[in-house]
């Protein structure tokens, strides 16, 4: 549930001060304004959203979306793409897809590898790669 108190005072402040309330704890969520105004610093930094999504800003000013999740007792991170190619709403959708995979017991990093390998098998792959894949399929392992 979003806190609409700031909207009564100033619409701009409502955009800058969006909150999400979960189990009695207020957490700031990332806004489009905050993303646009994120500037490079001397060190890399992240702007957290919620549910594992964060915007990583490097020293050169490149902004990329990262999703951190729990897997086998560790907290791995997967990159979801770069801003502005992927906006805030799209990043949240990608995060939700990755969270659903984790909930099903599928590592999102493995799923990405499978999808990339599947692209290599399409007819868009270079002819020599298609040939080597076809030969391997005929000859077997």
Q: Measure the CA–CA gap between 34 and 15, rounded to whole angstroms.
A: 9
Architecture of the domain spanning 5-106: 2-Layer Sandwich (3.30)
At 139 the pLDDT is 59
Mean pLDDT of 12-28: 48
Spatial neighbors of 66 by CB under 8 A, at least 6 apart, are 46, 53, 54, 55, 56, 77, 78, 79, 80
Is there a contact between 82 and 63 (Cβ–Cβ < 8 Å)? Answer: yes
Residues 36-51: pLDDT tens digits? 999 999 999 999 998 9
User: Mean of the per-residue pLDDT values for the chain?
Assistant: 78
Residues 90-115: pLDDT tens digits? 999 999 999 999 999 999 999 988 88
Domain with CATH 3.30.160.390 in the chain: 5-106
């Amino acid at each position: 549930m979003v806190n609409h108190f700031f909207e009564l005072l100033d619409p701009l402040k409502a955009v800058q001060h969006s909150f999400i309330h979960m189990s009695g704890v207020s957490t700031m969520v990332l806004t489009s304004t905050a993303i646009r105004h994120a500037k490079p610093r001397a060190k890399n930094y992240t702007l957290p959203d919620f549910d594992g999504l964060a915007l990583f800003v490097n020293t050169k000013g490149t902004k990329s979306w990262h999703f951190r999740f729990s897997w086998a007792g560790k907290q791995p991170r997967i990159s979801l793409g770069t801003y502005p190619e992927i906006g805030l709403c799209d990043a949240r959708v990608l995060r939700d897809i990755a969270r659903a995979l984790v909930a099903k017991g599928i590592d999102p990093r493995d799923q990405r590898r499978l999808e990339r390998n599947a692209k290599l098998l399409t007819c868009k792959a270079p002819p020599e790669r298609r040939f080597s894949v076809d030969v391997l399929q005929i000859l077997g392992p």
